[in-house]
Amino acid sequence: MRPVTAVPAELLARAQLQGGLLSSRDCDEFGVSSTRRTALVRHGRWSRLTTGVYDTRPGDVGLLSGQERAVRAAWAGLLAYGPEAVSIGAAACALLGIEGLPWPPVAEAALPGGRSTRSRDGILLRQYDAGLRVVPVAGRLVAAPEWALAQTVPRAGRGSAVSMMDSAQQHKLLDAEGLALAHDLARRRRGVERTHEWWALSDGRAESPLETLGRLDCLDVGIAPDELQVDVFDALGVLLGRGDLAWKQRCGRWLIGEMDGRVPHELPQALLHDRSRQNDFVVSGEADVLRFTYRDVGPHHRMGRTVRRFLTGEC
């Protein structure tokens, strides 16, 4: 007799694509009955997120990155409201791969046709926008990038808003024209008034939200970078590497601001690469290097003030 906790591998593979979540429909499709689902919850293998939605990895939530949690929240919204549900706002941004989302993640969706269903268990059912353009993602419907940004930016802070704009451009989801369309779509939304100047700050060369935040931190103290993603060469023209943010010093050398995110730059291989590249920059005499983390960007402008002190010193 099959144990009540046995789950088909194909079903778990689907859960993997859905942020670890499954709907009752998913389970029924693979023969996991309501009785077996109840047993899985009782034994602590699964947890019930809301009616008809199950978390197959309830103990792993604290181990997920912010982006992974946002994707999980997005799937919660889709699965909670059935196959007709459309992912919108920050949830749509997460499923599209846009980074820099507001925290905490929002589980939200909308139903076409103005169907009267209520939000429940922290999962928000939003109003469906007239004219909403959607795109398919993993077999479900998701607000197109320009709509997703238009719905999210008015509810976000500046750092998150510009980070999302940068990410959408970096991942080729929107170009300058698409970003302008997103701004136009946002104009009638509540909270948009404070955001109008932010849209002009976007730069698709930023390769991470931390780079965006570092750029804004320096902009706020009056020393916006001269360039982003600068190639540094030695005296013989050999490429030494690329710097995240760069300022041209009076002596002609670059000052490179390297942004060290929590995960990528903590890996041993990345640490060795970063150290070697920094040494090459400095030894070549072509660049000076300062390194920053998330702790250096924010209201106290630690990064901006550090860069400004360096630039006003002797070169």
Give mean pLDDT, residues 182-203.
98
Task: Tell me, yes or no, whether 174 and 234 share the same domain.
Answer: no
Question: Can you give the pTM of this predicted structure?
Answer: 0.92
Asked if residue 159 has pLDDT above 70, the reply is yes
Res. 310: pLDDT tops 70: yes
Same domain assignment for residues 51 and 17: yes
The pLDDT value given to residue 210: 97
Alpha helices in the chain (DSSP H): 9-17, 24-29, 34-42, 66-80, 89-96, 145-152, 158-170, 176-186, 209-220, 268-284, 302-312
* Residue 183 forms part of a structural domain: yes
- Do 84 and 145 share a domain, yes or no? yes
Is the residue at 276 inside a domain? yes
Q: Is residue 99 part of a domain?
A: yes
84 and 132 assigned to the same domain? yes
pLDDT band at residue 114 using 50, 70 and 90 as cut-offs: low
Residues 102 and 177 in one domain: yes
Percentage of the residues of the chain whose pLDDT score is greater than 90: 84
Residue 4 lies in a domain: no
**Domain stops at, among 201, 229, 255:** 201
Identify the CA nearest to 243 among candidates 217, 281, 285, 197.
281
225 and 176 assigned to the same domain: no
Residue 3, in any domain of the structure = no
Does 147 share its domain with 232?
Answer: no
Which of 62, 77, 103 lies at the terminal end of a domain, its last residue?
A: 62
Give the C-alpha distances (Å, rounded to integers) separating 220 from 188, 214, 297, 308.
28, 10, 11, 11
Q: Is pLDDT above 70 for 3?
A: no
Identify whether residues 223 and 247 lie together within a single domain: yes
Structural domain boundaries, residue 31: 9-62
Q: Do both 193 and 80 map to the same domain? A: yes
The answer on 194 and 92 residing in a single domain is yes
Q: Which of 169, 184, 201 is the last residue of a domain?
A: 201
Q: Is the same domain home to 178 and 94?
A: yes
Same domain? 124 vs 158 = yes
Mean pLDDT of the region 182-206: 98
- Domains of the chain: total: 3
Residue of 31, 74, 68 lying closest to 53 (CA atoms): 74
pLDDT number for residue 265: 45
Per the domain annotation, does 126 fall within a domain? yes
Is residue 105 a part of any domain in this protein? Answer: yes
pLDDT in tens, 31-55: 999 999 999 999 999 999 999 999 9
Higher pLDDT, 199 or 315: 199
For residue 110, pLDDT over 80 is answered with yes
Q: Would residue 1 count as lying in a domain? A: no
- Indicate whether 195 pLDDT > 90: yes
